[in-house]
């Protein structure tokens, strides 16, 4: 009980800047390291001359399928994180422990279910995400897909437990567990790909072994939690808590799953309009647009990992202070977060616009034709030209979720990824061909920013409402 009181006082009274650093930095590192799994695979694959852009394209095809698994994991994990924070803010530790126990069970069941579905429908799924661009890409995709799928139970569990560990007051351990898995992957990738010449299979096995390391560390932590005390009844599924937990995590799920829908649309438009292009319509170059857009998305994923890490790191702080009725404190945190996200977006934009050739060299450009590099430069500069808006939009989605506003957060995420992301990816290529795929991203971010601005203003008005009683640390003593 003493640990709980100390943690409550800290979240209620500590300087917001200090809290952001403590919670956001480990979260950012955790997400960045998590993102490195697929990115590192692609870097080593791209620099293996016997895989090249075909392997790169295959990685791009399979990547959305891992995002689906991540979507399920973050729905469970982020929802549990928000629920636990709100429960602790309301002094309801029993509800918090049931939520964690249920999250453990749901993540395990979900991982095995996804593996089962993926293995049964593997060829149909690969085709759906553009893997039929040419035969070699399809074969590489199938090989990579099988081995990645075998590790999904570990991946889902490890990713779901990461935000739960942060909610328990251990963001550093969450970071270490993810970092350990990624380091395992980074060490094994070059060994399997370059030494043993295992190709796509080697890259996938290295990734799975890293995920197993992260999952095992999560198991250890769950057995030794600090603030939340787990007992056997905690693992008995309770529908009312599951419903509330998943409703709080639905925005995280939709932001990921809708990204999958957008990637499916983009990959298929690349395949369709690339075939009509004078250069990329040639069989030996057909895989280049898909490989390049996949690389640009990886850079974007690094940026978004920082952005989401900053916002997600604030979830325990926001949830606790909202639960305690400390709205002015939440409002100040929101302002700090939006400013920080805009700065990250601006810095990333400069890198994407000024150094695209240097970025593409990391992904094996030396082994490819000039068409590969030229299209990559255009893709970086066009696709990512509205990064500042993209960063601020994402921060708004997550912060609203942390405030308990699942409906508004979900609406914004759906509009961005489904209505705009998928809609413009399907529409613009009809007028601009392959370039239309690149235009879909900035157009979507501009329009979403207009809607986000309105929602942010309304959130500020609510947080300024003086009718709500403000709590202090005395309530927690």
Q: Where are the domains of the chain?
A: 2-476
Output the CA–CA distances (angstroms, integers) from residue 129 to 63, 77, 133, 334, 388, in the order listed: 9, 26, 10, 37, 28
Q: Which residues of the chain, if any, have pLDDT below 70?
A: 1-10, 12, 34, 255, 365, 465-477
pLDDT of residue 120: 96
Tell me what pLDDT residue 471 has: 41
- Residue 324 · residue 471 · CB < 8 Å: yes
Residue 437 contacts residue 266 (beta carbons within 8 Å): yes
- What pTM did the predictor assign? 0.78
pLDDT (0 to 100) of residue 147:
96
Whether 293 contacts 157, CB under 8 Å: no
Residue-wise pLDDT tens digits, 267-319 = 999 999 998 999 999 988 999 999 999 899 889 988 988 998 888 888 788 87
Q: How far is CA 78 from CA 69, 147, 237, 321, in A?
A: 14, 27, 18, 17
Q: What is the pLDDT of residue 146?
A: 96
**Distance, CA of 32 to CA of 301 (rounded, Å):** 9
CA distance 391 to 342: 6
Q: How far apart are CA 317 and CA 402, in angstroms?
A: 9
Instruction: Spell out the residues 6+ positions from residue 218 whose beta carbon is closer than 8 angstroms to its own.
Output: 157, 158, 161, 162, 165, 177
> What is the predicted pLDDT for the residue at 365?
67
Please say whether the dihedral angle defined by the alpha carbons of residues 356, 360, 366 and 370, taken in this order, is positive or negative. Answer: negative
Rounded to 10 deg, the angle between the 52-89 and 288-313 helix axes is 20
pLDDT number for residue 255: 67
């Amino acid at each position: 009980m003493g640990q709980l009181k100390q943690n409550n006082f800290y979240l209620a009274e500590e300087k917001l800047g200090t809290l952001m650093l403590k919670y956001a930095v480990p979260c950012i590192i955790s997400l960045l390291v998590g993102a490195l799994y697929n990115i590192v695979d692609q870097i080593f694959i791209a620099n293996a001359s016997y895989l090249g852009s075909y392997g790169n394209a295959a990685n791009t095809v399979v990547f959305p399928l891992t995002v689906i698994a991540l979507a399920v994991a973050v729905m469970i994990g982020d929802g549990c994180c928000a629920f636990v924070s709100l429960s602790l803010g309301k002094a309801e530790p029993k509800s918090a422990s049931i939520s964690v126990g249920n999250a453990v069970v749901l993540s395990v069941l979900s991982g095995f279910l996804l593996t089962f579905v993926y293995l049964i429908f593997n060829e149909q799924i690969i085709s759906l995400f553009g893997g039929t661009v040419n035969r070699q890409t399809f074969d590489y995709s199938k090989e990579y897909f099988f081995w990645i799928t075998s590790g999904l139970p570990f991946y889902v569990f490890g990713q779901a437990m990461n935000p739960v560990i942060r909610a328990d007051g251990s963001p550093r351990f969450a970071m270490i567990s993810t970092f350990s898995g990624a380091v395992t992957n980074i060490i094994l990738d070059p060994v399997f790909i370059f030494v043993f010449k295992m190709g796509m299979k080697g890259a996938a096995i290295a990734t799975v072994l890293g995920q197993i390391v992260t999952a095992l560390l999560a198991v250890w932590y769950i057995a030794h939690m600090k603030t939340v005390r787990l007992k056997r009844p905690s693992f008995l599924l309770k529908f009312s808590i599951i419903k509330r937990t998943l409703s709080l995590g639905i925005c995280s799920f939709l932001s990921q799953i809708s990204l999958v829908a957008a990637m499916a649309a983009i990959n298929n438009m690349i395949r369709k309009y690339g075939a009509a292009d004078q250069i990329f319509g040639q069989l030996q170059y057909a895989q280049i647009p898909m490989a390049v857009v996949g690389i640009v998305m990886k850079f974007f994923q690094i940026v978004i990992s920082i952005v989401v890490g900053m916002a997600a790191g604030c979830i325990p702080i926001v949830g606790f202070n909202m639960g305690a009725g400390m709205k002015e404190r939440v409002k100040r945190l929101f302002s700090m977060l939006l400013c920080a996200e805009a700065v990250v977006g601006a810095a990333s934009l400069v890198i994407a616009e000024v150094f695209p050739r240097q970025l593409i060299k990391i992904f094996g450009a030396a082994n490819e034709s000039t068409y590969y590099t030229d299209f990559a430069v255009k893709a970086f500069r066009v696709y990512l030209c509205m990064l500042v808006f993209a960063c601020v939009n994402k921060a708004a989605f997550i912060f609203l979720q942390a405030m308990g506003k699942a409906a508004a957060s979900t609406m914004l995420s759906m509009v961005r990824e489904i209505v705009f992301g998928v809609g413009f990816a399907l529409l613009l290529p009809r007028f601009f061909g392959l370039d239309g795929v690149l235009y879909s991203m900035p157009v979507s971010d501009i329009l979403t920013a207009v809607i986000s601005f309105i929602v942010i203003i309304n959130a500020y008005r609510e947080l300024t409402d003086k009718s709500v009683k403000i709590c202090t640390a005395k309530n927690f003593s």
